[in-house]
Structures are given as C-alpha cells and as structure tokens.
Structure 1
C-alpha cells in the first residue's frame, strides 16, 4: 500500500497506533457502550461540569437507567471511573480515575504521532 498524505491517512495511522494501546491495556477493556460513557464522563470533566449518577441515568442515549447503572458499576469495578461524594450524601459524582486519565494521555500521544508524516 502506497503511503499518501490524505487527511484520512492521519486517522488510519491513529487507529493503527491505538491498537498497540488496546493490545497492552493497563485496565480491563471496556465494551462499546462503556467507552461511550467514558468519553461522555471525560468531556464533562474537561468542561468542569458536575456529572452525578442520577444525571447519567437520565441520558436516554445510553439506554435504560438500569442498563446505565449496570455499566457504571462495571466501569468502577474495572477501575475506569470512581464515585465521589457531593454536599448531598445521596448523590455521587462520576469522575475518571487516574488510570483512565493516563489512558487518555496515551491516546493523545497517538494522535500527535499520527499527524507526523511518515517518511
């Protein structure tokens, strides 16, 4: 296959680089819906938005409240997210763990590396 410099090539190189990360996970792998939830939690955190379990369970795009609750529980057990207390002891805030943040750091490095034109 001939190396080209189309914008799609950057994305394809990124996918290739992320295969290495997924091949050596520091945390148990996530299912596709869990990945979507993780991305949502990460974006909320990046925007300094508070995201409670109740807020998350109200998101229709992730399925029923029971399904979302099950995914949150699974993601906590796998070490991707954590629940922290709020001023209301009945409400828990969803946040990324340090290991999840390190995973996003690795993905960011893949993006930067993918943008470098191969020789």
Structure 2
C-alpha cells in the first residue's frame, strides 16, 4: 500500500537526480531558502527588492544576505531588475532558475504518477 509519504520520498529521489545534472551551480541551504522566497513572491506576482530581502532578519544579517544574493547572481539563479526608483532593485528568477522549477514540478508529477 502506498502512503502519501512514499510520493514525497520518490520526489526527493527524483529531485536529487536533477541536482546531479549539469545546469546551474549548486546553492547552499541559505541560498536555497532565498531562492524559494523569490520564487514564492514572484508566483504571487508581487515585487521583492534587495531591501526587502535584507529586512528578513530570520534569514541572517544584511551583510550575509547581500553576499548570498551576489553569489546567486554569479551562479545564474537570480537577476536584479530595475524599478521606478533607480536606487531599488527587484530580485527576480532567471530563465534558467525557472527551468529548474519546471523540472522539479515535472519530478513531483512523475512521483505522484508512479505511485
């Protein structure tokens, strides 16, 4: 008998296989949390600025967050877009990051289908 947890475990296996494929460089755990935040806010069609992320004290100090955003930009996961205020930059997923989430979604659907 298949338990709901079995679907999730299968998804984790498939997601791990995706990480092994050559694509974007790996993220550390904090970068992963930031990426998921950017993705959730983008999915809600809201804006997320660098300043907004720096204000998330639960994620770390502003210096730590700035360093992680810089690293994520260099790795190709996020980009900074202009806003009406030239001093504020909007954090957005890159097309490559969106493709990564597409692949994760496909893995989730496959895990559910396989069970």
Q: TM-score scaled to structure 1, two decimals?
A: 0.94
Query: How big is each residue's C-alpha offset from its partner over 1:60-115, in whole Å with a ceiling of 9 and x where there is no partner?
Result: 11100100000000000000000001111110000000000000000000000000
- Identify the match of residue 12 of structure 2 among 7, 12, 15: 15
| Secondary structure of the corresponding residue to residue 30 of structure 1 | coil
Residue-pair matches, total: 115
CA distance in 2, matches of 1:25, 1:90: 35
| Secondary structure of the corresponding residue to residue 92 of structure 2 | strand
Q: TM-score scaled to structure 2, two decimals?
A: 0.97
CA RMSD, aligned part only?
0.9
Structure 2 unaligned blocks of 5 or more = none
Structure 1 unaligned blocks of 5 or more = none
CA distance in 1, matches of 2:79, 2:19: 21
2:97 paired with 1:95: no
How far is 1:117 from its partner? 3.6
Kept in 2: contact 1:5–1:117 (CA 8 A): no
Q: Which has the larger radius of gyration?
A: 1
Runs of 4+ in 1 over 6 A off after TM superposition: none
